[in-house]
Structure formats: structure tokens, C-alpha cells
Homo-oligomer: A and B are copies of this chain.
Amino acid sequence: MDLDDTLIALADDTRRTILGRLAAGEARVTEVAAPFGISLNSVSKHIRLLERAGLVRRRIAGRDHFLSLEPKPFDELTQWMAKTRDFWSSRLNALEAALRAEDAIKAAAKSSKRTVKRKRK
């Protein structure tokens, strides 16, 4: 599934921070790696994962690799979430309505019993 790659890519704080940095504009791998207390190599791996998810594009210029943010997969995920949320809401609302209806029936049954009792009295 395509969503998997996007979700996996976002499910890590380091990677989310990298994306935030790239939102401010292109940056080289070393620049991106600088703020983190981890090895350049680890950051390189995170970047590869982000590329796999299509969230980051790489432009190679000489020995420098310039990275930039590609928000499309993010937007696609957002759409999927909106759709899913709507679906869930409708189902959950239907459930609630069903429960309310059930309660109403029970209440009606109770009150009619009460009425009957009163009538008997």
C-alpha cells in the first residue's frame, strides 16, 4: 500500500523534523543532519526512507545533494484521513442513533407498563 510508506515515514520525530527543515527550502544532507545528535549516516538513512515515501526529492549538484520537500504524499494521506474519518463518523452516528432508538423503545415500553399499572389501580 502507498499509505504505508507515507505513514511509516511520518512515524518518526527525526524525520518529521527533517521535513520541517525542508519546508524552509532546499538543504544539503549535512545541513539537514546538523541539528541532530546522531551520525550523518543515520540521517542519510532517514532521508532515503523519506525519498522512498516520495516526501523528499534529491537534486545532485557535484558532491552536494540538495534535498527538497515534496508534499504530495502528505496531501494524499490527508485526503485518505478525511475520507476515512467521514466514513467512521457516519457509521458511529448510525450506531448512536440505533442506540437512542432502542432506548426510546425501552422507555416507551416502560411508560406503557406504568400506565397499565395505574389503570389497574
Q: Which of A35-43, A44-52, A88-96, A109-117 contacts B (4 or more CB under 8 A)?
A: A88-96
> Which residue in B4, B20, B78, B88 is a CB contact (below 8 Å) of A81?
B78
A69, B23: Cα distance in complex, Å: 34
As for how many copies of this chain the complex holds, the number is: 2
> Which residue in B10, B69, B85, B89 is a CB contact (below 8 Å) of A88?
B69
Report the minimum CB–CB distance from A24 to chain B (whole Å).
5
A88, B91: Cα distance in complex, Å: 33
Q: Assign chain A's interface to a size class.
A: 20 to 34
A10, B10: Cα distance in complex, Å: 11
Given A4-B13, A7-B7, A11-B8, verify A92-B78 contact (CB < 8 Å).
no
Asked if A29 is at the interface (CB within 8 A of a chain B CB), the reply is no
